[in-house]
Amino acid sequence: MLGALVNAWRVPDLRKKILYTAFLLFIYRLGSFIPVPGVNTASFVAEFQRLAGETGVGLLSLLDMFSGGGLSRATVFALNVGPYITASIIIELLAVVIPALGELKKEGPEGRKKMSQYTRYGAVVLAIVQGYSYAAMFGTAVRPG
C-alpha cells in the first residue's frame, strides 16, 4: 500500500489532487473548531448537554454525531454536508414527479449542470432553514445584540 502511495505521489496530477484534498480536510477540521460568532459557547455547551441529557441518546445526539461533534460545540461547520445531500435527494425525487425536471435530467451535460445548480440553490435554502432552526432550538445560549 505504501508503494502505491509513493507511485501516486510521483504523478504530478495525482499529487496535486492529493494535496488539494488534504487542504480541504484541513480547512474542514479547522472550521469544525471555530465557534459561531455571537454565541456564548460555555452557555451553549451547557444547554446542549442539558437537552441531550434529558433526551438520552436521541435525535439531538444523532444530529451531533452527523456533524462530527460540531453541533454540540456551536461551530461554523456544524451543518456539515447535510443540507446539500438533502437537497440532492429532493431534486432527484422531484425529477420523477415533475416532467420538466425529468426532461432536464435527460438533456445530457447541460441538463445535469442545471440540475446541479438547482441542487446548490436548494442546499443554500436548506442550510438557512436548518441553521435558523438550530439557533431557535438553542435560543437561550445566544447573546443578544
Grid coordinates of 79: 451543518
142 within 8 A of 39, measured Cβ to Cβ:
yes
The average pLDDT across 44-64 equals 73
The predicted model scores a pTM of: 0.69
Per residue in 91-113, pLDDT (tens digit) is: 999 999 999 988 988 888 999 99
Which pLDDT score, from 0 to 100, does residue 115 have? 93
105 within 8 A of 112, measured Cβ to Cβ:
yes
| Range of weakest confidence among 51-65, 72-86, 105-119, 121-135 | 51-65
134 within 8 A of 71, measured Cβ to Cβ:
yes
pLDDT of residue 67 exceeding 60, the answer is yes
pLDDT of residue 54 exceeding 70, the answer is no
Higher pLDDT, 143 or 117: 117
pLDDT of residue 143 exceeding 90, the answer is no
Domain spans in the chain, listed from the N-terminal domain onward: 32-141
